[in-house]
Amino acid sequence: MESAARDSDEPPTVGVVGSQEDTVERISAAVSEADAVPLATDATGVGEASFAVAVGERALGELASVAVDVPVLAVDAGPGVRSVATEDAAAAIEAVLGGDVERTARRTFAVDVGAERYDAVFDVTLVTTEPARISEYCVAAGGEQVAQFRADGVVVATPAGSHGYARAAGGPVVAGTAPVAAVVPIAPFAIDTNHWVVSDEDVRLSVERDEGSVSLLVDDRAVGTVDPAAPVRLSPGHELVLLCPPGSTPPW
């Protein structure tokens, strides 16, 4: 184990990232009470901090998108990652600043669409934008076609994301350290459509036929639309190092 507080005569700085203003203010106050300096900022401003606090799932995604290289304490980030509740955040921050805590890593998806690149901690989703419209999707892994099906959409989840939307759509929960992706059709047209667990080394999604606009969501962020036959490529991305102080919930 390695301390997240850097050796210096200056007080350590702690980045606090999140969209929930009240919670960010509470956690910033807890950082100050622990004799550290809070940096309530966006994900791009935590690079020099001793560690970052991510408030909620979206904050984790934002930190992944900038390939942050400091360890992260997740707060109320949901199942699938080691996380502490808001009411336990002050004690967790003191534990991290006061000594060594366990760490774990979560590998993200690197998502390439044309010249654009995104990072996903939890999942990548293609979904028809208009209600009551379906499209035809193709999934390939390792250079071989896995399936082609008509559905409202398709979600590909990391092990961390397999606890969320993919599970609600009928997919399996996957162990956090497995180098795999869970692929799950969303409301498929055929009732016997499968879901799959594939290697995360090279996954490709494409829209083979659409009856309307198809949106691309990275975690819960809508990042654009996907044209027919334009591939969405998924491969191993940046690793987020997560801090696991006493009281953090297990990822299952």
Instruction: Please name the helix (run of DSSP H) or strand (run of DSSP E) that holds residue 95, with its range, or none.
Output: helix 89-98
Domain ranges of the chain: 2-107+240-244, 111-237
Instruction: Give pTM, 2 decimals.
Output: 0.88
CATH class of the domain defined by 111-237:
mainly beta
In this predicted structure, the answer to whether residue 91 has a pLDDT above a threshold of 50 is: yes
The DSSP bridge partners found for residue 220 are none
In this predicted structure, the answer to whether residue 214 has a pLDDT above a threshold of 70 is: yes
Residue from 189, 196, 182, 231 nearest 211 by CA: 189
What single-letter DSSP state applies at residue 82? -
In this predicted structure, the answer to whether residue 103 has a pLDDT above a threshold of 70 is: yes
Q: Per residue in 128-182, pLDDT tens?
A: 877 666 789 999 999 999 999 999 999 999 999 999 999 999 999 998 778 999 9
Sign of the dihedral through C-alpha 41, 46, 48, 53: positive
What is the C-alpha separation between 77 and 97, in angstroms, rounded? 21
In this predicted structure, the answer to whether residue 81 has a pLDDT above a threshold of 70 is: yes
What is the C-alpha separation between 53 and 38, in angstroms, rounded? 10
The DSSP bridge partners found for residue 136 are 150, 209
Tell me, yes or no, if the two domains 2-107+240-244 and 111-237 fold the same way: no
**Residue-level pLDDT at 124:** 96
Instruction: For the chain, state the CA radius of gyration.
Output: 19
Q: pLDDT band at 190, cuts 50/70/90? A: confident
User: Coil, strand, or helix at residue 161?
Assistant: helix
**Residue-level pLDDT at 71:** 96
Residue from 139, 151, 155, 120 nearest 202 by CA: 139
Q: Average of pLDDT values for 217-246?
A: 90
User: For 2-107+240-244, CATH number?
Assistant: 3.40.50.10330
What is the C-alpha separation between 46 and 219, in angstroms, rounded? 21
Q: Per residue in 3-60, pLDDT tens?
A: 565 555 689 999 999 988 899 999 999 999 999 999 988 888 888 899 999 999 999 9
Query: Is residue 194 within 8 Å of 160, Cβ to Cβ?
Result: no
